[in-house]
Structure 1
């Protein structure tokens, strides 16, 4: 089963960790990596903004990726959160099998 990474940003590490724990407990993702701080420069409502965010990379299967996106969106504090799905082109077969084994089918 092909694997996917769902990339999302959160306003804080605490919010990212809470979302990650929920998704792992629900077996929607096998693993979440959280990078604690990045600087984002972006245009929002006509203004250039600067903020710090936590980056989260969620490992899941292609079958469950849309559910992960929806779960993150539903719980996210931003009006328009950064959530994208990235395909994985290869990788260590044992690791990819572990992801598939940890993520349960819907």
Structure 2
């Protein structure tokens, strides 16, 4: 991935306070330029062979592709789940001023 490419990382948290706490850490450590935490949603999945439905918060993390490995490693340490969802999506287009702002925060 090119160093200047903006990506959006998706993850989920079971608790709003924990999501907010982790968001602050990632931004303060300059691993993310901006993090948005969505209201409660329901996730349906299979874990240990059982069908589960849990309330979670979707967290969207904006960063540069060059930060992915460091951010994923830090998020794994901070996350309460044994196997956290950490999915990076490439942004096919980013408004130039937003990209410049993100770069100014992260570089």
Match of 2:68 in 1: 65
User: Where do 4+ consecutive residues of structure 1 move more than 3 Å?
Assistant: none
For the pair 1:75 / 2:78, whether they are aligned, the reply is yes
TM-score by length of 1: 0.94
Map 1:76-91 onto structure 2 (within 5 A): 76-91=79-94
In the alignment, the residues of structure 2 paired with residue 16 and residue 59 of structure 1 have an alpha-carbon distance, to the nearest angstrom, of 15
- The total of aligned residue pairs comes to 104
For the pair 1:43 / 2:46, whether they are aligned, the reply is yes
Q: Aligned to 2:66, what secondary structure does the other structure show?
A: coil
Match of 1:11 in 2: 14
Match of 1:23 in 2: 26
Alpha-carbon RMSD across the aligned residues, in angstroms, is: 0.8
TM-score by length of 2: 0.93
CA displacement at 1:54 relative to structure 2:
0.8
